[in-house]
């Protein structure tokens, strides 16, 4: 039921995009369409896998669906970072800015990655049923 509601909201969102953000809508239905379709297929696969109780593979398909829609958004909006003026080239101007960004992302990865690994390992262990 939740999946059906989420899908309906997603489809309604496309109609809203057509009216409110025509440039993004054109990008998503043009250049970004293959990636958006990949997201749809991965989402439907995740639902099917949940129905047959293949939870691990369903998680992977779900992650692919979310990643694909985010990539589709970026592809659909390209070459802009922020419409209608800031392009990717404009945002990347300045070596110092790029170095600071790379440094911050590297430091964040060093902090976040071990925590995420620990979290996933911790929650994948069988539950201890001792009271």
The answer to whether 112 touches 120, Cβ cutoff 8 Å, is no
Instruction: Tell me, yes or no, whether 130 lies in a domain.
Output: no
pLDDT at 68: 92
Instruction: Tell me, yes or no, whether 29 lies in a domain.
Output: yes
Task: Kindly indicate the confidence band of residue 131, based on its pLDDT and cuts at 50, 70 and 90.
Answer: low
Instruction: Tell me, yes or no, whether 129 lies in a domain.
Output: no
Each residue of 52-79: pLDDT tens digit? 999 989 999 989 999 998 999 899 888 8
Considering its fold, how many domains does the chain have in total? Answer: 1
Instruction: Tell me, yes or no, whether 16 lies in a domain.
Output: yes
- Domain range for 68 is 2-124
Q: Has residue 4 got a pLDDT over 80?
A: no
pLDDT at 107: 96
Tell which residue, 33, 116, 108, 17, has the closest CA to residue 71: 33
Angle at 1 between CA 58 and CA 34, to 5 degrees: 50
pLDDT at 117: 92
* Residue 129, SS3 per DSSP: coil
The answer to whether 18 touches 77, Cβ cutoff 8 Å, is no
- 3-state SS of 40-90 is HHHHHHHHHHHHCCCHHHHHHHHHHHHHHHHHHHHHHHCCEEECCCEEHHH
Q: Tell me the whole-structure pTM to 2 decimals.
A: 0.68
Each residue of 6-43: pLDDT tens digit? 777 877 887 888 888 888 888 888 999 999 899 989 98
Instruction: Tell me, yes or no, whether 131 lies in a domain.
Output: no
């Amino acid at each position: 039921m939740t999946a059906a509601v989420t899908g309906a909201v997603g489809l309604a969102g496309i109609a809203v995009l057509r009216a409110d953000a025509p440039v993004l809508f054109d990008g998503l239905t043009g250049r970004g369409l293959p990636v958006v379709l990949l997201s749809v297929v991965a989402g439907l696969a995740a639902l099917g896998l949940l129905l047959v109780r293949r939870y691990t593979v369903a998680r992977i398909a779900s992650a692919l669906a979310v990643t694909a829609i985010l990539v589709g958004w970026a592809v659909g909006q390209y070459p802009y970072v922020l419409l209608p003026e800031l392009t990717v080239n404009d945002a990347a101007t300045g070596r110092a800015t790029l170095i600071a960004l790379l440094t911050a992302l590297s430091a964040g990865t060093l902090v976040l990655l071990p925590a995420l690994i620990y979290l996933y390992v911790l929650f994948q262990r069988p539950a201890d049923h001792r009271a």
